[in-house]
Structures are given as structure tokens and as C-alpha cells.
Amino acid sequence: MRPDHLDETPFVKLSGVHKTYEAETGNVRALDPVSFGIDRGHIVSVVGPSGCGKSTLLRILAGIDPATGGQVVIDGQEISGPVPNMGIVFQRDLLLDWRNVLDNVMLPAELARANMDETRSRAVALLSELGVGDFLNRLPFELSGGMRQRAAIARALLMRPSLLLLDEPFSALDAMTRDQMNVILQRLQQHERVTTLLITHSIAEAVFLSDRVVVMSARPGRVLDVIDIDLPTPRPLSIREEPAFAAIARRIRLLFEKEGVLAA
């Protein structure tokens, strides 16, 4: 673990970010001060138990929910409102039912009044890379959950965001589709190199996809450990059976066991 969980100059830097919700039924301390960094082009995962403040952290980073205290700096600028040029994917894909796949992916280009020809080529290329190039004219209801989520990822990446936020994007998918999505996302990241924060409940997914894993305690969430994942990339799924991978997963599991989050 780095002494202060921070790099010299990470692209994203959270310093002492904390959050207390003021609700009518009383205050909810959701996040204790959290500090870590995300280097440019890296994927950092936040893994932690339900209710530990992971989504809160993501919303603070997106600038759509203010922190109670602390500082978020993105590319040298402290954020004070919604972060421009950000891509976001939630557990629910939020595709528009009446638009076909290509038109769903093109939505951010329309909103930004971008050059439609150029962005359409990028949309088609992204969808092909994601394995849904043959489904451009299909409506969302005609697609499986995994295919819908691929379209949602293409939409989030279309405008080349400087930051990609993934809030448990694969947790509604079956285990095999989830594995497949992990491989696809990793392959895409090999050339997109977009700075990414991934929120997940899955230790294996976090270790497989990430350059760094932030391990959170139960609510109020605090950082239990920040682990740099030095496994070579690209990683085949079979890496999960290798001792180095298993050792990292075990280290994270033991932290949760020690906290009483997982039964020992």
C-alpha cells in the first residue's frame, strides 16, 4: 500500500472526500474521508460491501452529488459541478426503447451537435469491436442483457470521454456473460485507454480488470487498502486460477473477513 494512497500527479485525485446525507429521519454518514488516485488511462476499481458508499463516491466524482468535505481534482482542476466529457454506465443500461442500437449510441453526438458522419463511423467501429456490429438496426428489446450493456458502453465511449465511470455495469448479468464482458472491456481498454473508475461487488472482477483496487469497509465506507495489481496485461480469464491472482483475491477477502463483512 502506498503510504497516503496517492500518486505524485494522478489524473484523478480524491483527497479526504467524505459524505454525510442529511435526511429527515436523521443524518446518514455514508463515507468517511477517502483518498486515492487514478493515473491517466488506468482502471481503478472500488470494491466493498453493499451500502458502503460506492455509488456515493461515484456520484461525487461525477460532480453530480457534492461531497460534504474533501477535494476531487481531475486533470489539475478541482471539480465544483457536473464533470464535462464524462462517460457513465449503470447496472441498468438506460437505452431508449424506441431507438435502435446505433441511434441509442449516437445520442450523445446529437446532444453535443457533433459531426454526425465522423461520430457515426466511430459508433459503428465501437459496436463492432464490442461484438454487436450486426445488431445496429435492432431495437433494445430484441437484445440480450449482455448485448444491451455493450451498446451502453459504446454510447459512453462515443465522445472519447476523459473519464469513464462504471457503476456495477455487469452485476445484473449471468456469470458467463459477465466473464465475457470482462474480457471485452479489457480488450477495448487496450486501445481506448480511458481513465476509468469501476464500482463492483466482485473481487475477481476488480482484480481481473484493474490497475489498482481500492478496498472499502462497511458503512461508513473508509479505505481498508489500496492494492496495485501488477499482473501482466492483457489478462486471459485463466489468470484467475494462477497463484499470483489468487493471492491478491485472498488478501482482499481476508480484509473483508477481518471486518466481519464476510464470514470467516
Ligand X SMILES: Nc1ncnc2c1ncn2[C@@H]1O[C@H](COP(=O)(O)OP(=O)(O)OP(=O)(O)O)[C@@H](O)[C@H]1O
Q: Smaller CB distance to ligand X: residue 31 or 130?
A: 31
Shortest approach of ligand X to residue 227 CB, angstroms?
Answer: 19
Q: Smaller CB distance to ligand X: residue 30 or 62?
A: 30
Shortest approach of ligand X to residue 173 CB, angstroms?
Answer: 16
Shortest approach of ligand X to residue 122 CB, angstroms?
Answer: 31
Backbone angles phi, psi at 5, to 5 degrees: 60, 15
One-letter amino acid at 101 equals V
Q: Smaller CB distance to ligand X: residue 52 or 185?
A: 52
Shortest approach of ligand X to residue 31 CB, angstroms?
Answer: 7
- Residues whose CB falls within 8 Å of the CB of residue 172, separated by 6 or more in sequence, listed in order: 91, 92, 145
DSSP assignments along 147-188, one per residue: HHHHHHHHHHHTT--SEEEEESTTTTS-HHHHHHHHHHHHHH
CA distance 226 to 209: 15
Shortest approach of ligand X to residue 146 CB, angstroms?
Answer: 21
Integer Rg of the chain from CA: 18
Closest of 261, 193, 242, 237 to residue 47, by C-alpha: 261
* Residues at the contact surface with ligand X, assessed by CB under 6 A: 21, 23, 28, 30, 48, 50-56, 219
